[in-house]
Amino acid sequence: MNQPIPAEWYLTLGLFMFLIGGVGVAIRRNPVVVFMCVELMLNAVNLTVLTFAHFNYSQTENVTSSAMNGQVLVIFVMAVAAAEVAVGLGIIMAIFRLRQDVDIDDMSALRG
């Protein structure tokens, strides 16, 4: 009755999350939506890393190193994602104040 969820389900969910985020980055023009899709992709990677860390943890004798490596990596990815969102949204807000319009195609004009 109390069956554990197989690793394949977590990995399939991570794959679908990553694909939805990738399609959103490819077809959307709004930079805020693009950032949300990038965050979705990073969360899919976090789910995959935690899945491998958890299932590797349950099959090894060395308890601390296997589980902690995956968790430390996920915390690092979350910190990088938070910094990316803070910087990205700051740039988007600066462009909006300057131009009163935010479009990804217009942002390519900032190259120089």
| pLDDT for the residue numbered 49 | 85
Cβ proximity of 22 and 41 under 8 Å: yes
Regions in the chain scoring below 70 on pLDDT:
1, 57-67, 69, 101-112
Annotated domain spans of the chain: 7-111
The CATH number of 7-111, from 1.10.287.3510, 1.10.10.10, 3.30.470.10, 1.10.10.60, is: 1.10.287.3510
| pLDDT for the residue numbered 64 | 56
DSSP 5-38: PPHHHHHHHHHHHHHHHHHHHHH---HHHHHHHH
| pLDDT for the residue numbered 98 | 78
| pLDDT for the residue numbered 61 | 58
| pLDDT for the residue numbered 44 | 92
For the chain, the maximum distance between any two Cα atoms, rounded to a whole number of angstroms, is: 63
